[in-house]
Amino acid sequence: MAIYKKGSKGEEVKEIQRKLKALGHYKGSIDGDFGKGTEEAVKAFQKSNGLTVDSVVGPKTWNALFEEKPDQPSNLKINRTVRLEAKDYIESETPKDLIVLHHTVGGTALSTINYWKTDPQRIATSYVIERDGEIFEVFDPKYWAFHLGLKETGGAVDKRSIGIVIASEGGLIQRDGKLYCFDVVSERTLFTQEYYDHGMPWRGYRFFDAYSDVQIKAIIGLANILCEQFKIPRRTPANHFDADDSYRQFAGILGHHQLRPDKSDVNPGFPWQKLVEACRLELV
């Protein structure tokens, strides 16, 4: 195969730039011109993948770049066409060392985003994952918004964290062998999709809307990119279910339920083990 290095031009160079950008190594434009910026990005990629650091894309680097790893979609697409306005978040750049996972209760990604636009409290997260796995980035994750509801901390944890919300129906109630969402038994709230059964009550619910495989794939891909881009420590608590005040100082990846004992997002059906393996997280 061909070798791409400084001075190379063309479609393949664009492919390389796109990929490096998605991985958070490349900040320049996708111009198909292998210049200084592309060279630096290739170097960073080679370094973080244990390859010879020569800033040349030969067969080994090419394969490492484009090899389809399970649960690490190489072509993670992020929809940036629906954005919040500056009044809806805090446009001040803060260092990040934490990712917090949430789910919505009811609603699509777009209805959630539209609701945030009408809410004056600047509650939002950078990312919303639709049921079909589409990732919406509604503001640049280098900025921040309130998403944790830890009032007594004055936003200290919100400031250093990136929120990801999974579109979901949340906890479900059971009546006469049927499941319902919104805590309401009615024809309209009858739940007929795939569910997760925890086997026992947890935070008020035994049954939950199951996160879809494509949503989990999207989270894994996104978490990988964000850990790389913001140097977020690749770690998560070994205890996946309980809240603890000490997590307010935690750096790594958490569920909202680990920061607040009154929250049931993410639900206990979340496949933490998959995330741990795919993002090479340390259990602490």
Footprint on this chain of Zn ion (rule: CB under 5 A): 102, 256, 265
Return the structure tokens found at 81.
Answer: 């066409």
CB 145 within 8 A of CB 89: yes
CB of 38 or CB of 258, closer to Zn ion: 258
Q: Whole-angstrom Cα distance, residue 184 to residue 253?
A: 32
- Dmax over Cα atoms in the chain, in whole Å? 69
Q: Closest separation between CB of residue 160 and Zn ion, Å?
A: 16
Contact 73, 135 (CB under 8 A): no
In angstroms, give the least distance from the CB of 149 to Zn ion.
8
48 Cβ neighbours under 8 A, 6+ residues apart: 228
Nearer to Zn ion, 142 or 263 (CB): 263
**Cβ nearer to Zn ion, comparing 45 with 250:** 250
Q: Which is nearer to Zn ion, 25 or 102 (CB)?
A: 102
Cβ pair 129, 90 in contact under 8 A: no
Residue 235 or residue 256: which is nearer to Zn ion going by CB? 256
CB of 172 to Zn ion, least distance (A): 17
Shortest distance in whole angstroms from residue 102 CB to Zn ion: 3
Residue type, 110: L
Spatial contact of 116 and 249, defined as CB atoms under 8 Å apart: no
CA distance 222 to 55: 25
Tell the smallest beta-carbon distance from residue 211 to Zn ion (Å): 14
